Amino acid sequence: MAASYPPSGPTVRVARTLRLDNKHRSRVYDYRGMTAANGGTIWLRACVHHIPVIRQMPGRQDLDALRRVLLAQGLMVQFGTDGEGNVGLYTRAKHLCYHARGGNSVTCGIEHMHYLTSESWDRRQFCAAAWVVQFLEREHGIPLRMATVDSGGPGVARIVRTGHTSHQRISQAAGYNDRSDPGPGFDYERIFRYARYFKVRGHFIGA
């Protein structure tokens, strides 16, 4: 069982517990009742994967910190994950959040708690990412595959094929070329494989 830490912010509902392996459990924290999106309903076509340049912290402290930082900047993102395998649900997936300039009106985003793109990734965080990915497929029809992203003109990224993509790719397609996250070590195919495993078994033990 993962270590338990005292709350580091507002009272947050635990939506579910995830079984990551025979030793570790993590939690899905639901902040949606206390976190406003930046706008109304969007036409959701893809999910964008990011890192927030926030260091890992025990328990849900890093997810709380991410929420505070984004709110202070007038930004928000729909999901977060951390290295212990925890998930943060910040807003509804189909509500506008300012997370990926050029693609906000057609994408949701996941901030995967990392400080640098060069940091190695823990299996538990990939499990957390996989849980969000399968949730998006089940609830919103976002398939377990890479999206095709093209330029839609200056400042606009166009989603040609639905799926998942990087903050770097959205930035390139929109012509900004100012993002490199989540980095080369982020293994989308492994995450998709874990998501398929979870769909069948309801846990990640043995994935």
What's the average model confidence in pLDDT over 130-155?
98
Q: How many residues does the chain have?
A: 207
Indicate the average pLDDT of the chain: 95
Q: What is the pLDDT of residues 6-31, one digit of tens each?
A: 444 568 999 999 999 999 999 999 99
Residue 125 · residue 24 · CB < 8 Å: no
DSSP state of 146: B
**pTM, entire model:** 0.94
| Angstrom distance (rounded) from CA 25 to CA 117 | 25
* Nearest residue to 112 (alpha-carbon basis) of 50, 48, 165: 50
Percent residues over pLDDT 70 in the chain: 95
Q: What is the DSSP string of 148-176?
A: EEEE-STT-EEEEE-EEEEHHHHHHHHT-
The pLDDT of 55-60, averaged and rounded, is 96
Structural domains in the chain, CATH included, are: 13-197 (3.40.80.10)
pLDDT in tens, 69-105: 999 999 999 999 999 999 999 999 999 999 999 999 9
pLDDT, position 11: 83
As a whole-number percent, the residues of the chain with pLDDT over 90 amount to: 95
